[in-house]
Amino acid sequence: TQLLEQSPQFLSIQEGENLTVYCNSSSVFSSLQWYRQEPGEGPVLLVTVVTGGEVKKLKRLTFQFGDARKDSSLHITAAQPGDTGLYLCAVGQGGKLIFGQGTELSVKP
């Protein structure tokens, strides 16, 4: 059983569409991170959310941490081909990061 369940696993959309990616767990976390991995590169940290109910914005990306700090969502407005990549949520546990399986996003022009 995965500690973090991401959905959907795959998402293929047209440029200009909106989308939401979810990261869910039954456990409570002190913080949660989102990473993006572009093809052929290593993951890059996008944001860390810490407070329950917190909303953070990064240009067209909006991140939310659930009130109970068990889940998080990533919403992309007006997706562009440059948003294509693997989106990973992660939480710290015992000195290590535990990653979700990822959401593979493809944005077609």
Q: What is the DSSP string of 30-70?
A: S-EEEEEE-TTS--EEEEEE-STT-EEEETTEEEEE-TTSS
Min. distance of Cβ 12 from other proteins in angstroms? 17
Which tokens go with 30? Answer: 């002190």
Beta bridge partners of 97: 92
Q: Does residue 97 interact with other proteins by CB under 8 A?
A: yes
Residue 9 φ/ψ, nearest 5 degrees: -75, -35
Question: Which of 7, 20, 62, 101 touches other proteins (CB under 8 A)?
Answer: 101
Give yes or no for residue 82 binding other proteins (CB under 8 A).
no
Examine residue 58 and tell whether it contacts other proteins (CB under 8 A).
no
Where does this chain bind other proteins (CB under 8 A)?
31, 33, 40-45, 48, 88, 90-92, 95-97, 99-102
